[in-house]
């Protein structure tokens, strides 16, 4: 049975496990942390909460990273101690160890502070871009959809948009490509509303743990089940928008085994310049 492994049983890791298990679309979730007792305790708590949800997902805890071998998706989150996103040299060593024992692993960095980890992993490790990606860009897209929904007085479910660039700072949104209930956003909103929307979007901060967990769970499910839906993920640009060997957010289609294809929207001159400047920050 396909399963999802989560490395790190901190707040983000446990919230992601809860989001995955609560939806009941993944057969098993493995919550892995060096603090094995904490991981096991949180896994049991999530499993018990699933009874009320009617979820059939099994949730187990472990202190051994090799428990992630064979997972349909490995989500890299945050440790119990010291608290914070798995990142830096320790994070790279953890991903390297996983790749060494499972060359077919599809690894997703789910934190908002893991851009550098992704860049180093894609540059230094023997892993294809289709199998090492970040989901924080989708969390940022969720936040922006909520802002658009408030401005347009609609449900966020009918808002569709793309996040490009670097998350959380350096985000570029191609507004002409965004839609509300299938209609171009720029035709639904008045110019004054668009100006207000762009100002608010420029001030938005990093996504919080609930949005990050929701985005990670969505990406994890797509990697297990396959999907034709488009999500925003951080990965290596290989010619998209004329950019090579830079790490940034792209709209992609995911399937079993990672990124199936990139769906790059058209950019106007201003958006292209903004994107190049954002990626140059790295």
Sequence spans of domains, the chain = 3-134
Taking the C-alpha atoms of residue 69 and residue 92, their distance in angstroms, rounded to an integer, is 17
Q: What is the pLDDT of residue 53?
A: 79
Q: What is the pLDDT of residue 280?
A: 85
115 pLDDT above the threshold of 70 = yes
Mean local confidence (pLDDT), 45-73: 92
Q: What is the pLDDT of residue 52?
A: 81
Contact assessment for residue 24 and residue 56, using Cβ atoms and an 8 Å cutoff: yes
Confidence of residue 9 (pLDDT cuts 50, 70, 90): very high
Q: What is the pLDDT of residue 55?
A: 84
For the domain bounded by 3-134, which CATH number is listed? Answer: 3.40.50.720
**Tens digit of each residue's pLDDT (9 = 90 or more) over 219-274:** 999 999 999 899 999 999 999 999 999 999 999 999 988 999 999 999 999 999 99
Query: What angle in degrees, to the nearest 10, is found between the helix axes of 136-152 and 191-203?
Result: 150
Contacts of 70 (CB under 8 A, 6+ apart): 3, 102
1 pLDDT above the threshold of 80 = no
108 pLDDT above the threshold of 90 = yes
Q: Kindly report the average pLDDT of the chain as a whole number.
A: 94
Q: What is the pLDDT of residue 282?
A: 59
Helices (H), 175-208: 185-188, 191-203
| Buried-state track 123-161, b at ≥16 Cβ within 10 A, e below 16 | eeeebebbbbbbbbbbbbbbbbbebbbebbeeeeeebbb
């Amino acid at each position: 049975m396909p399963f999802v492994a989560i490395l790190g049983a901190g707040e983000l890791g446990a919230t992601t496990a809860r989001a995955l298990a609560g939806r009941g679309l993944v057969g098993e979730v493995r919550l892995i942390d060096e603090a094995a007792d904490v991981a096991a305790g949180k896994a049991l708590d999530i499993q018990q909460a699933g009874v009320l949800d009617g979820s059939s997902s099994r949730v187990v805890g472990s202190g051994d990273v090799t428990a992630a071998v064979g997972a349909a998706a490995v989500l890299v989150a945050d440790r119990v101690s010291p608290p914070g996103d798995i990142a830096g040299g320790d994070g790279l060593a953890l991903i390297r160890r996983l790749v060494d024992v499972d060359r077919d692993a599809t690894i997703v960095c789910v934190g908002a502070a893991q851009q550098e980890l992704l860049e180093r992993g894609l540059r230094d490790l023997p892993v294809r871009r289709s199998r090492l990606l970040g989901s924080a860009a989708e969390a940022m897209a969720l936040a922006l959809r909520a802002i658009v929904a408030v401005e347009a007085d609609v449900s966020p479910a009918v808002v569709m948009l793309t996040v490009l660039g670097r998350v959380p700072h350096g985000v570029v949104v191609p507004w002409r490509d965004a839609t509300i209930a299938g209609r171009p956003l720029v035709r639904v909103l008045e110019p004054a509303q668009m100006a207000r929307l762009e100002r608010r979007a420029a001030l938005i901060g990093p996504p919080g743990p609930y949005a990050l967990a929701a985005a990670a769970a969505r990406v994890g499910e797509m990697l297990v089940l396959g999907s034709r839906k488009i999500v925003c993920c951080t990965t290596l640009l290989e010619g998209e928008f004329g950019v090579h060997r830079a790490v940034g957010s792209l709209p992609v289609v995911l399937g079993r085994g990672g990124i199936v294809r990139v769906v790059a929207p058209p950019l106007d001159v201003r958006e292209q310049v903004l994107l190049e400047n954002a990626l140059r920050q790295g």
